[in-house]
Amino acid sequence: MSTNNTTTYPEWVNSPKEKILFKFLSNLSDHFGKSMFWLKAQHSLYCTKYERFDSTWLKETLHYYLMNDMHTFLPTLPQVTEYLRAKPGYQDRWERRDFTNGKKFCNDCRTDADGLEGGFRQIYMWDRTTDKETEYMAPCTCDAGKCMKGYPYTTVISNLQVRFKNAEIHYSYRNHRHYLVSAKEQSEKKWHDRIKAGRCIYNEGTGEYIPNFKHPIYKTFIGIQICADEGWTMPEELLNVITENQAYNNAVKYYRMKRCTAKALKDSPYVPTPQSMAQAMTGFLSPNVEHRDLATLYPSMDYTQEIDSDDE
């Protein structure tokens, strides 16, 4: 099945996870002398069983099994599953009953990389009349989200628009950078709060919000993140100030820790347990540490007994 370190797969092996399981079963088949008929039959069972497992974790764990833990008998699917359950990183949700009938959540509502978790959209409403903020969670309209209980977020938004005429309503989504844009950060309320705090200014001529770079927040790394999220360009002189401030703060922390450590060692009457007689005598004769008598260095020894001299 492999030539020049390049593995060729049968036509019934397509997805990356199917290739991972085919490699695993191919090793078992070669080791225990099984036929291609056995491999194909087992492959379909393994694909069904491990459909919701994380591909990277499954690949690493099965490879570790082949390299270190494979027994002298051919393992069955339940035995391999028990082995996987006992390994670090296993998650129970991979084997839960799939109420979505094999469908995966869309990019806007999923909460994991594989689309096996999620299904809800955030809804934010700001009533301008009462200045009241309200947040909701409602199922998504994707194929997997339709299997969730409750009204979809589009129906909830329509009902809110009918009940609250002077309200601003937004829902969450993921942008082109796969960043989850929450419903609240899209509202005008966010900009009102920023203007009130002095972090940005509204340009009536262009109808756009521009940053107020005189605000102290733009002299920190938080300001860099705000500019990146809103598409603003941070001035070069501010970037230099942030870099210099960070370097200065790191130096202050380093020398402050160094002074505290030196002072603690100087004022402390105790010394670390010596590993050799040379270290013990070095610590005993050290002029920087006070109270370095034998009783302090070795409190468990009895110094009431007289020491015999070889000269006597």
Strands 173-174 and 180-181 come out as antiparallel
Report the pLDDT value the prediction gives residue 171, as an integer from 0 to 100. Answer: 92
Report the pLDDT value the prediction gives residue 82, as an integer from 0 to 100. Answer: 92
Q: Is 258 helix (H, G, I), strand (E, B) or coil?
A: helix
| 164-205 confidence digits (pLDDT tens) | 988 899 999 988 778 788 888 888 888 888 888 888 888 888
| 216-260 confidence digits (pLDDT tens) | 888 888 888 888 878 888 888 888 888 888 777 777 788 788 788
Rounded CA separation 202/211 (Å): 9
Determine the straight-line distance between the first and last CA of the chain, rounded to whole angstroms: 88
Q: Residue 3: beta bridge partners? A: 6
Residue 129 has pLDDT above 90, yes or no: no
Where does the pLDDT of residue 287 fall: very low under 50, low under 70, confident under 90, or very high at 90 and above? very low
Q: At what angle do helices 55-64 and 16-32 cross, to 10 degrees?
A: 10
CB 234 within 8 A of CB 220: no
